[in-house]
C-alpha cells in the first residue's frame, strides 16, 4: 500500500513538472513570435515592449479609433519607481495604421478596424512588425 502511495505521489510530481515545463516553453515561444490581438472599444490593451509597457484602450468616436495609451517603464513590485510615463493619443481612420518600436527590438502595430469597431494590434519583434506600418 505504501509503495502505491509513493508511486502515485511520484507520478503526480512528474506530471506537474512536465506541465510546468510545457507552459514555460509555450510562454517563451509566444513572446518571441508576432501575435495578433483584436480589441473592442474600452477593452484593456496591454503589451510588452522590452523594459517598457504599453497600456491603454480605444473608443469609437467620429468614425475613427481614438487610441489612448500610456508608455512607461515596467513597474518593479519590490521598489518604487520614480519614472513617469508618456501618454500617446492617436486618431486612426478605418484601415489606418500606426507603429511603436522599442530600443530592445519589440514593436506594436495598431490598425483601426472596419467601421472603427475594432483595433487590431500586432506585437512582436521589430524586424517582423515594423514592415507592417511602412
Shared-domain flag, residues 9 and 40: no
Q: What percent of the chain has pLDDT over 70?
A: 68
pLDDT per position as a tens digit, 58-95: 999 999 999 999 999 987 766 666 778 899 999 999 99
Whole-model pTM above 0.75? no
Shared-domain flag, residues 44 and 97: yes
What's the number of domains the chain is made of?
A: 2
Identify which of 58, 69, 123 has the alpha carbon closest to the alpha carbon of residue 93: 58
Please tell me the predicted confidence (pLDDT) of residue 129. 87
Shared-domain flag, residues 71 and 113: yes
- pLDDT band of 4, cuts 50, 70, 90: low
Q: Give the bridge partners for 72, in sequence order.
A: 53
Q: Which residues contact residue 83 at a Cβ distance below 8 angstroms, ignoring those fewer than 6 apart?
A: 72, 73
How far CA 126 is from CA of 43, 51, 59, 96, in Å, comes to 24, 14, 26, 19
The DSSP bridge pattern shows strands 86-92 and 106-112 to be unpaired
Question: Residue 62 is part of which domain span?
Answer: 34-133
pLDDT per position as a tens digit, 88-97: 999 999 999 9
Amino acid at each position: 500500500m505504501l509503495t502505491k502511495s509513493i508511486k502515485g505521489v511520484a507520478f503526480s510530481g512528474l506530471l506537474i513538472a512536465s506541465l510546468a515545463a510545457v507552459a514555460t516553453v509555450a510562454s517563451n515561444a509566444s513572446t518571441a513570435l508576432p501575435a495578433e490581438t483584436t480589441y473592442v472599444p474600452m477593452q484593456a490593451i496591454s503589451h510588452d515592449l522590452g523594459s517598457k509597457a504599453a497600456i491603454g484602450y480605444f473608443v469609437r468616436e467620429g468614425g475613427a479609433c481614438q487610441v489612448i495609451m500610456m508608455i512607461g517603464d515596467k513597474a518593479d513590485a519590490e521598489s518604487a519607481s520614480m519614472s513617469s510615463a508618456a501618454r500617446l493619443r492617436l486618431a486612426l481612420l478605418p484601415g489606418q495604421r500606426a507603429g511603436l518600436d522599442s530600443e530592445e527590438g519589440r514593436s506594436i502595430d495598431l490598425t483601426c478596424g472596419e467601421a472603427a469597431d475594432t483595433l487590431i494590434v500586432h506585437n512582436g519583434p521589430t524586424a517582423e512588425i515594423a514592415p507592417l506600418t511602412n
